[in-house]
Each structure stands twice: as structure tokens, then as C-alpha cells.
Amino acid sequence: MAELDMETEVKVILEKYFAEQLG
């Protein structure tokens, strides 16, 4: 569960980062 949580968090952070870069 912890690993999945971590992976999801990373995905969210990456999406947010790319959204700011491309936005």
C-alpha cells in the first residue's frame, strides 16, 4: 500500500510540474 501511495504521489507531483511548465 505504501509503495502504491508513493507512486501515486509522484505521479501527481509530476503532472503538476509539467502542467506548470507547459501552462
pLDDT in tens, 1-23: 688 899 999 999 999 999 999 88
| Residues listed for the chain | 23
pTM, two decimals, is 0.54
If you compute the radius of gyration of the chain from its CA atoms, what whole number of angstroms results? 10
Establish how many alpha carbons lie within 13 A of residue 16's alpha carbon, considering only the half-sphere containing its beta carbon: 6
pLDDT of residue 18: 96
1-23 burial, b for 16+ CB within 10 Å, e for fewer? eeeeeeeeeeeeeeeeeeeeeee
